[in-house]
Structure formats: structure tokens, C-alpha cells
Chain A
Amino acid sequence: MARVAREMVERSGVNVDQLLELLVKNAAAELTTFYYYTILRVNLIGIEGEGIKEIAETARIEDRNHFEALVPRIYELGGKLPQDMKEFHDMSACPPANLPKNPNDAQGLLKVLVEAERCAVRGYTQICNMTAGKDHRTYDLVLAILNEEIEHESWFSEFLGEGPSGHFLRRGETSPFVSKFIK
């Protein structure tokens, strides 16, 4: 634990235990989403599915990166991950991104993907609101993750016909915002 770093956050008025619970819940959401997206990705097949596969894979890898980036901050602040993987799964900040009943339904798959990203955007916005101007390091990390989650949402939203995402897909490296935390 980084004792003084935690003390600084406490003195700023942030409830650190509450913040830690949220960070662990969101770390659980990232790791479980990485798992569920693996299943979604392999089912993105055929003319419709194949076009979505690339962005689903990018989102999957970046969600894993988010998990990797969150863990050090959890321990710095004196928190820890549960020993039990099932417990970790069940405390996720977002519901499981389950494969739809009809796995050939590309629109159904997209809705699962966009809902998962929207849950993440909500969660990280909340943590940004809690830490802005108070816990600079957590804010910097969570803002970086939020930037990527918003891009994921916009990609899937575009494929659902909700309007243009406004940007290109990744070209080369993943996690343009979060990579500085996992080097």
C-alpha cells in the first residue's frame, strides 16, 4: 500500500473504502467482459458478423488492458482482489455480456456489446466525478479508461445504425489512452 498516497486521497474528502469497492467492481467488470467478449467474438461470423469481429476483438483486448491498469491502483490504495474468482465475477459493476439466445443474430450481439460498453461508460463517469480534483492518480487512470470505453460504445452504436462514431478504428496499437499505465 502507498500509505501517504492513500492518506492524501482520504484528506481530500474521498471515501477511499467506497472508491476501492467501485474500483474492484469495475476491475471485475473488465475481466468478465474480456471473457464474455471472447465468446461473442467467436460467434461473430458470416457476412454481418465478420464486419463486427475486428472492433469486438479490439474492445476485448482493451477491456483486458483496463483490468491490468486498475489492479495496481487498487493495491496502492490498500485494497485487494477477492481470492475467489466466482465472488469476483458476481461483484462485477456490469451484468454478464451473455451470448444472445440466437447467436446468429448479429444485431442481438451488437446490442449486448453496446449495453456492456454503456454500463462501463456510466461506471467510469461516476468514478471520475468522485475523484476529480481530489484523487489525481485514480482520476487520470479512470479518465483514460473512460476515453476508450466511449470509443467502444460509439463503434458498436454506429453498427446499430445510431449514427456515425466520428472516428476511425484503431490502426496498430490498442489502448491509446490506457497504454501509459500498463507499460
Chain B
Amino acid sequence: MGLKEFSREKLSRFDGKEGRPAYIAYKGKVYDVSNSFLWMGGRHQALHQAGEDLSDLLDTAPHGEDLLERVPVVGKLID
């Protein structure tokens, strides 16, 4: 079965607030970070919000792509 497709508008609904799932996009893939302690409430380290495409922000983060391998991929981002 193919991955679910997410537009940016659809992705924005998965912001982790008020019990909603927390999804983020990175380089075309959509990751489910709902169960990550570091994304509780859809916020990450006071700087990032779930429901967004973070592709351009990882370069400035103090970690690499490898940490994304710890969370499941649930879809792909379409423009």
C-alpha cells in the first residue's frame, strides 16, 4: 500500500495541540512524532511546531537526520 499523501494544509492540521496527532515533514516524508517525548504538545525545544515542513531547519538544529529514523514515516508531502 502506498504512503498517504499530505498537502501542506492537511499537514498543518496535525499540530499536536489539544490531543491531535503531531506530524512533521522533512524532505518530502511525513513523520509521526506524536509519541516522542521531545514533541509533547506538538512543540519541540521551544523552537519548532508540529504540522510544518521542517526541511530547511534541520541544518541549524544540533542533530542530524539520523534522529528522524526513530519515528515512523506515515506519508509523503505533496506540493
Name A's B-contacting residues (CB within 8 A). Answer: 18, 21-22, 25, 90-96, 121-123, 125-126, 129
A123's contact among B37, B40, B45, B60, by CB below 8 Å, is which? B45
Are B47 and A18 in touch, CB under 8 angstroms?
A: yes
Q: Is the C-beta of B63 less than 8 angstroms from some C-beta in chain A?
A: yes
A-B contact count (CB 8 A): 30
A125's contact among B37, B38, B47, B62, by CB below 8 Å, is which? B62
Q: Shortest distance in angstroms between B58's beta carbon and chain A's nearest beta carbon?
A: 12
Q: Could you tell me which residues of chain B, from 6 to 37, have a CB within 8 Å of some CB in chain A? A: 37
Are A122 and B62 in touch, CB under 8 angstroms?
A: yes
Q: Which residue of A lies closest to B67 (CB)?
A: A122
Interface of chain B, main secondary structure: loop
Q: Is the C-beta of B46 less than 8 angstroms from some C-beta in chain A?
A: yes
When chains A and B are docked, how far (Å) is the Cα of A90 from the Cα of B37? 8
Interface of chain A, main secondary structure: helix
When chains A and B are docked, how far (Å) is the Cα of A125 from the Cα of B61? 9
**Complex interface: chain B residues within 8 A of A18 (CB):** 46-47
Q: Which residue of B lies closest to A92 (CB)?
A: B37
**Complex interface: chain B residues within 8 A of A126 (CB):** 45, 47, 61-62
Asked, given contacts A122-B63, A123-B62, A125-B62, whether A95 binds B46 with beta carbons under 8 Å apart, the answer is no
Q: Could you tell me which residues of chain B, from 40 to 69, have a CB within 8 Å of some CB in chain A? A: 40, 45-47, 60-63
**Complex interface: chain B residues within 8 A of A91 (CB):** 40
Q: Which residue of A lies closest to B37 (CB)?
A: A95
When chains A and B are docked, how far (Å) is the Cα of A125 from the Cα of B37? 20
When chains A and B are docked, how far (Å) is the Cα of A104 from the Cα of B20? 38
